[in-house]
Protein backbone atom coordinates (compact mmCIF):
# COMPACT_ATOMS: atom_id res chain seq x y z
CA UNK A 1 0.00 0.00 0.00
CA UNK A 2 2.55 2.45 -1.06
CA UNK A 3 1.44 6.05 -1.52
CA UNK A 4 -1.58 5.84 0.84
CA UNK A 5 -1.31 7.99 3.93
CA UNK A 6 -3.01 6.73 7.01
CA UNK A 7 -5.64 9.05 8.62
CA UNK A 8 -4.28 11.38 11.25
CA UNK A 9 -6.07 11.07 14.57
CA UNK A 10 -5.55 14.75 15.44
CA UNK A 11 -7.22 16.00 12.22
CA UNK A 12 -10.45 14.10 12.92
CA UNK A 13 -10.72 15.40 16.51
CA UNK A 14 -10.19 19.01 15.42
CA UNK A 15 -12.96 18.71 12.82
CA UNK A 16 -15.28 17.26 15.45
CA UNK A 17 -15.37 20.53 17.41
CA UNK A 18 -15.08 22.91 14.41
CA UNK A 19 -18.42 21.87 12.88
CA UNK A 20 -20.53 22.65 16.00
CA UNK A 21 -18.58 25.90 16.45
CA UNK A 22 -19.33 26.93 12.86
CA UNK A 23 -23.05 26.12 13.31
CA UNK A 24 -23.19 28.12 16.56
CA UNK A 25 -21.52 31.15 14.96
CA UNK A 26 -23.91 30.91 12.00
CA UNK A 27 -26.98 30.78 14.28
CA UNK A 28 -25.81 33.74 16.38
CA UNK A 29 -25.02 35.74 13.23
CA UNK A 30 -28.47 35.07 11.75
CA UNK A 31 -30.17 35.98 15.03
CA UNK A 32 -28.19 39.22 15.28
CA UNK A 33 -28.97 40.18 11.68
CA UNK A 34 -32.69 39.55 12.20
CA UNK A 35 -32.89 41.55 15.44
CA UNK A 36 -30.79 44.59 14.71
CA UNK A 37 -32.30 47.89 13.49
CA UNK A 38 -34.98 46.27 11.32
CA UNK A 39 -38.54 47.20 10.61
CA UNK A 40 -39.87 44.27 12.70
CA UNK A 41 -43.15 43.91 14.49
CA UNK A 42 -45.02 46.33 16.67
CA UNK A 43 -45.26 45.87 20.43
CA UNK A 44 -48.52 44.01 20.03
CA UNK A 45 -46.92 41.58 17.59
CA UNK A 46 -43.92 40.87 19.79
CA UNK A 47 -45.98 39.23 22.51
CA UNK A 48 -44.08 38.21 25.62
CA UNK A 49 -40.79 39.63 24.34
CA UNK A 50 -42.18 43.18 24.50
CA UNK A 51 -42.96 42.94 28.20
CA UNK A 52 -39.40 41.97 29.04
CA UNK A 53 -37.84 44.88 27.15
CA UNK A 54 -37.09 47.94 29.25
CA UNK A 55 -37.64 51.27 27.50
CA UNK A 56 -37.24 54.83 28.67
CA UNK A 57 -40.23 56.97 29.47
CA UNK A 58 -41.23 59.42 26.71
CA UNK A 59 -40.31 62.16 29.18
CA UNK A 60 -36.89 60.70 30.05
CA UNK A 61 -35.26 63.26 27.75
CA UNK A 62 -37.30 66.47 27.79
CA UNK A 63 -37.41 67.97 24.31
CA UNK A 64 -36.44 71.40 25.63
CA UNK A 65 -32.95 70.02 26.34
CA UNK A 66 -31.80 69.79 22.75
CA UNK A 67 -34.43 68.21 20.55
CA UNK A 68 -32.65 66.59 17.61
CA UNK A 69 -33.25 68.56 14.42
CA UNK A 70 -35.09 66.33 11.96
CA UNK A 71 -34.89 68.62 8.96
CA UNK A 72 -38.69 68.45 8.66
CA UNK A 73 -40.99 71.47 8.65
CA UNK A 74 -41.90 72.57 12.17
CA UNK A 75 -45.02 73.65 13.98
CA UNK A 76 -45.15 75.61 17.23
CA UNK A 77 -46.94 73.77 20.03
CA UNK A 78 -49.28 76.76 20.41
CA UNK A 79 -50.40 76.32 16.77
CA UNK A 80 -51.53 72.71 17.30
CA UNK A 81 -55.22 71.89 17.80
CA UNK A 82 -56.39 71.90 21.41
CA UNK A 83 -56.68 68.08 21.36
CA UNK A 84 -53.06 67.72 20.23
CA UNK A 85 -51.85 69.96 23.05
CA UNK A 86 -53.86 67.81 25.49
CA UNK A 87 -52.21 64.67 24.08
CA UNK A 88 -48.77 66.27 24.53
CA UNK A 89 -49.61 66.86 28.18
CA UNK A 90 -50.57 63.18 28.56
CA UNK A 91 -47.29 62.13 26.92
CA UNK A 92 -45.30 64.39 29.27
CA UNK A 93 -47.19 62.95 32.26
CA UNK A 94 -46.68 59.36 31.11
CA UNK A 95 -50.41 58.68 30.64
CA UNK A 96 -53.01 57.41 31.13
CA UNK A 97 -53.86 57.24 27.44
CA UNK A 98 -57.37 56.96 25.98
CA UNK A 99 -56.58 54.10 23.56
CA UNK A 100 -54.88 50.72 24.04
CA UNK A 101 -52.87 51.41 20.89
CA UNK A 102 -51.27 54.51 22.46
CA UNK A 103 -47.67 54.35 23.75
CA UNK A 104 -46.87 51.54 21.30
CA UNK A 105 -43.92 51.40 18.93
CA UNK A 106 -44.25 53.49 15.79
CA UNK A 107 -42.23 51.74 13.10
CA UNK A 108 -41.75 54.66 10.68
CA UNK A 109 -42.54 52.39 7.74
CA UNK A 110 -43.18 55.46 5.62
CA UNK A 111 -39.56 56.51 6.17
CA UNK A 112 -40.47 60.18 6.61
CA UNK A 113 -39.09 60.60 10.14
CA UNK A 114 -35.33 60.34 10.71
CA UNK A 115 -34.17 56.72 10.68
CA UNK A 116 -33.72 55.35 14.20
CA UNK A 117 -33.45 51.96 15.87
CA UNK A 118 -36.62 49.94 16.37
CA UNK A 119 -38.51 51.07 19.46
CA UNK A 120 -37.21 54.66 19.32
CA UNK A 121 -40.58 56.13 18.28
CA UNK A 122 -43.86 55.80 20.21
CA UNK A 123 -47.27 56.84 18.89
CA UNK A 124 -50.21 58.57 20.55
CA UNK A 125 -53.73 59.20 19.29
CA UNK A 126 -54.99 62.77 19.10
CA UNK A 127 -58.74 62.80 19.57
CA UNK A 128 -60.67 63.96 16.52
CA UNK A 129 -64.06 65.57 17.31
CA UNK A 130 -66.87 63.87 15.42
CA UNK A 131 -64.80 60.81 14.48
CA UNK A 132 -66.21 57.34 15.21
CA UNK A 133 -62.73 55.83 15.40
CA UNK A 134 -59.21 56.96 16.36
CA UNK A 135 -59.09 59.29 13.39
CA UNK A 136 -55.98 60.29 11.44
CA UNK A 137 -54.25 62.58 13.92
CA UNK A 138 -51.23 61.37 15.89
CA UNK A 139 -48.28 62.59 17.88
CA UNK A 140 -45.10 60.56 17.51
CA UNK A 141 -42.53 60.84 20.29
CA UNK A 142 -38.86 59.89 19.97
CA UNK A 143 -36.99 58.67 23.02
CA UNK A 144 -34.59 61.66 22.77
CA UNK A 145 -37.52 64.06 23.19
CA UNK A 146 -38.23 64.79 19.54
CA UNK A 147 -41.96 64.98 18.85
CA UNK A 148 -43.88 65.04 15.59
CA UNK A 149 -47.41 65.90 14.47
CA UNK A 150 -49.40 64.29 11.67
CA UNK A 151 -53.00 65.09 10.84
CA UNK A 152 -53.15 62.87 7.75
CA UNK A 153 -52.32 59.43 9.20
CA UNK A 154 -48.57 59.40 8.54
CA UNK A 155 -48.62 60.91 5.01
CA UNK A 156 -46.74 63.94 6.36
CA UNK A 157 -45.11 65.07 9.59
CA UNK A 158 -44.02 68.33 11.18
CA UNK A 159 -41.64 68.47 14.12
CA UNK A 160 -43.26 70.06 17.16
CA UNK A 161 -41.48 73.03 18.72
CA UNK A 162 -42.58 72.57 22.30
CA UNK A 163 -43.00 75.61 24.50
CA UNK A 164 -43.54 77.87 21.48
Burial 38-49 (b: 16+ CB within 10 A, else e): eeeeebeebeee
List, by residue number, the catalytic residues. 123, 153
Sheet containing 121-125: which strands, arranged edge to edge?
Answer: 74-76, 158-161, 147-150, 138-142, 121-125, 104-105
Q: How far apart are CA 3 and CA 5, in angstroms?
A: 6
Backbone angles phi, psi at 75, to 5 degrees: -140, 135
Amino acid sequence: MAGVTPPVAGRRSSLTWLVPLFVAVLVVGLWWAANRNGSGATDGDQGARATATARPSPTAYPSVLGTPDSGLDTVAESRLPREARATLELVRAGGPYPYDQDDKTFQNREGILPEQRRGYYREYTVLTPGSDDRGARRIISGSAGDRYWTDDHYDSFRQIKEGQ
